[in-house]
């Protein structure tokens, strides 16, 4: 006896086929979404950027902190003199440096540069380096607006170049009182100057007496030190006297003289 195979009507067979197709599509969509979750989305191209072109590099880092070391490693020190030039003390400092074969960096105030341009020329002729110390020596400069800060910095550099009668390099900038801000360092960097700090404060600006100045430097000096001294901004006889003792002492300790790092 032959059994007859019962076949469902065509309408049921089409329904089963459609159901299978829908299930397959659902599985494909589900797999696609699960794979996309682990893949970071590619952002749309910015306006004006061609698809496939190289992406723009990240902005440069913010200017670094003021340098506080010598240009060369080892047993070197960098002498720096602030607030000049001064007709009474700057020539004496230069003579002492020449006598001991030393170099130094002079951080000059624009107002003083205008009064004594001949001293700027003398400093440059002696092989020293210049440092911009602003026009006004405003110790609250960090609190001023950007336009005021920029004018005080760029004005002093222009004064130095005019006094030196040429495009003399001014590789450093030092904030009055060492009062820095991000805006100050950014402007100095933009103008091509390295922000210059110090690692040894002689505290000669407190007028403690020459022996105290000598003792402070001797106790704090170390290889690579940048030493803060003053040749202007007031009475500096103590500094000159202390320098006359410090220079041969530093040489006896095996130190050589260098400029700050740039």
CA atoms within 13 A on the CB side of 213: 24
| Active-site residue, from 82, 83, 86, 132 | 82
In a domain, 103, yes or no: yes
Task: Write out pLDDT tens, residues 82-120.
Answer: 999 999 999 999 999 999 999 999 999 999 999 999 999
Closest by CA position to 177, among listed 198, 147, 208, 207: 198
The rounded distance, in Å, linking the Cα atoms of 246 and 103 is 14
Domain-located, residue 55: no
Q: Which domain does 236 fall in, by range? A: 76-257
Has 133 been annotated as catalytic? Answer: no
Active site residue 137: no
Q: Are strands 225-230 and 256-257 parallel, antiparallel or unpaired?
A: unpaired
CA distance 80 to 87: 17
**The domain that contains 124 carries what CATH number?**
3.20.20.370
Q: What are the tens digits of pLDDT across the range 147-176?
A: 999 999 999 999 999 999 878 999 999 999
Asked if residue 46 belongs to a domain, the reply is no
Number of separate domains in the chain: 1
Structural contact between residues 68 and 195, judged by C-beta atoms closer than 8 angstroms: no
* Regions in the chain scoring below 70 on pLDDT: 1-64
- Does 6 map to a domain? no
- Tallying the residues shown for the chain, one arrives at 262
Catalytic residue among 83, 116, 230, 258: 230
Per-residue pLDDT at 210: 98
Contacts of 210 (CB under 8 A, 6+ apart): 238, 239, 241, 242, 245
The answer to whether residue 59 sits within a structural domain is: no
Strand blocks (E) in the chain: 76-84, 104-108, 129-132, 172-173, 194-195, 200-201, 225-230, 256-257
């Amino acid at each position: 006896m032959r059994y007859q195979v019962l076949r469902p009507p065509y309408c049921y067979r089409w329904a089963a086929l459609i159901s299978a197709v829908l299930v397959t599509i659902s599985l494909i969509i589900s797999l696609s979404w699960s794979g996309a979750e682990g893949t970071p989305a590619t952002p749309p191209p910015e306006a004006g950027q061609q698809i496939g072109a190289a992406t723009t590099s990240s902005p440069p880092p913010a200017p670094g902190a003021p340098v506080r070391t010598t240009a060369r490693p080892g047993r070197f020190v960098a002498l720096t003199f602030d607030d000049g030039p001064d007709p009474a003390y700057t020539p004496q400092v230069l003579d002492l440096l020449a006598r001991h074969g030393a170099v130094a960096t002079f951080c000059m105030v624009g107002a003083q540069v205008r009064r004594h341009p001949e001293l700027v020329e003398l400093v440059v002729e002696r092989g020293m380096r210049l440092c911009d110390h602003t026009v006004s020596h405003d110790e609250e400069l960090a609190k001023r607006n950007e336009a005021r800060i920029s004018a005080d910095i760029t004005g002093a550099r222009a004064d130095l170049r005019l006094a030196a009668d040429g495009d003399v390099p001014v590789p450093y900038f030092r904030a009055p009182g060492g009062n820095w801000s991000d805006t100050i360092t950014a402007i100095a960097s933009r103008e091509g100057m390295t922000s210059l700090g110090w690692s040894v404060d002689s505290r000669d600006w407190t007028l403690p007496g020459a022996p105290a100045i000598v003792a402070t430097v001797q106790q704090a000096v170390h290889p690579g030190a940048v030493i803060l001294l003053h040749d202007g901004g007031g009475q500096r006889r103590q500094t000159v006297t202390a320098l006359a003792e410090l220079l041969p002492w530093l040489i006896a300790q095996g130190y050589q003289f260098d400029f700050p790092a740039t």
